[in-house]
Amino acid sequence: MILELTLPKVRHGVWDHSVFPQDPVVRLKRTGLAAMVSFYGARSVALKMIEGVNQRHAKISGKTIDGQSYRATDPELLLWVQATAAWGFIEAYSAYAQKLSGEDWSEALTEAVPVAEAYGVGDPPRNRPDIDAILTKHQTDLDPSETLNTFLTLMKTTPTLPGAGRFLQPLFVRAAINLVPDEISEQLGLARQGLRNGERLLVQTLVSGSRLISLRNHPAALQRQRLGLNPR
């Protein structure tokens, strides 16, 4: 969500119309559920949920602190949210799990197109150059904010992971910041908040270890079971 919140109209749309500032855990669970259902749920279930989200978005509008009007259904804003979310997931996987090629990026983004279109995105990105073009187009519109600082603090300090996992949250936040393109990171004042010496390898090791854990109730596993495929 880091890049998502750097565009003022999106930032106000998210922060001023949700429970995130008061209860980030609830908001994260809702967002996580929506993502899992969208990609791994039965089509009928996913489309019904997405329709509900779209109906809620249709009621969201307002003005930024400097007077810019916004609507949550604005095609440009929908594209920014979808593109930055896709970029975040894929870039994180490539950086910390397994290096991805341009072909891998295209495959992942193409698979996401039906979901993006269901959410109202008119022309979703289909490859890495598409993502880069969207970031470049809006770069001059991005700005640092107290909202972004508050979000990062909440992600570091609010217990969102179970057990001892909560002590890793500051590390994971730094790992997320580390993904932000250098020029944008400087622009947002995040350049010195990324990973410290040796932490990249630590994150990669943690991710590698987590991939050995079998979660039979994970949405991806349930999807494979529903489709009669062998579990991984």
User: What pTM does this model have?
Assistant: 0.90
What residue spans define the domains of the chain?
A: 4-226
pLDDT on residue 226:
79
Query: Quick check: 195 pLDDT over 80?
Result: yes
Residues with Cβ within 8 Å of 78's Cβ and at least 6 positions away in sequence, in order, are: 72, 119, 120, 121, 122
The span from the CA of 9 to the CA of 145, in Å, is 12
Average pLDDT over residues 123-149: 96
pLDDT band per the 50, 70, 90 thresholds, residue 24: confident
The span from the CA of 191 to the CA of 66, in Å, is 26
Length of the chain: 232
Q: Tens digits of per-residue pLDDT, 28-62?
A: 888 888 999 998 888 999 999 999 999 999 999 99
Residues with Cβ within 8 Å of 116's Cβ and at least 6 positions away in sequence, in order, are: 82, 86, 124
pLDDT on residue 214:
67
Q: Where are the alpha helices (DSSP H) in the chain?
A: 8-15, 24-40, 43-57, 75-96, 102-118, 128-138, 146-157, 169-179, 182-188, 199-210, 219-226
Coil, helix or strand for 69? Answer: strand
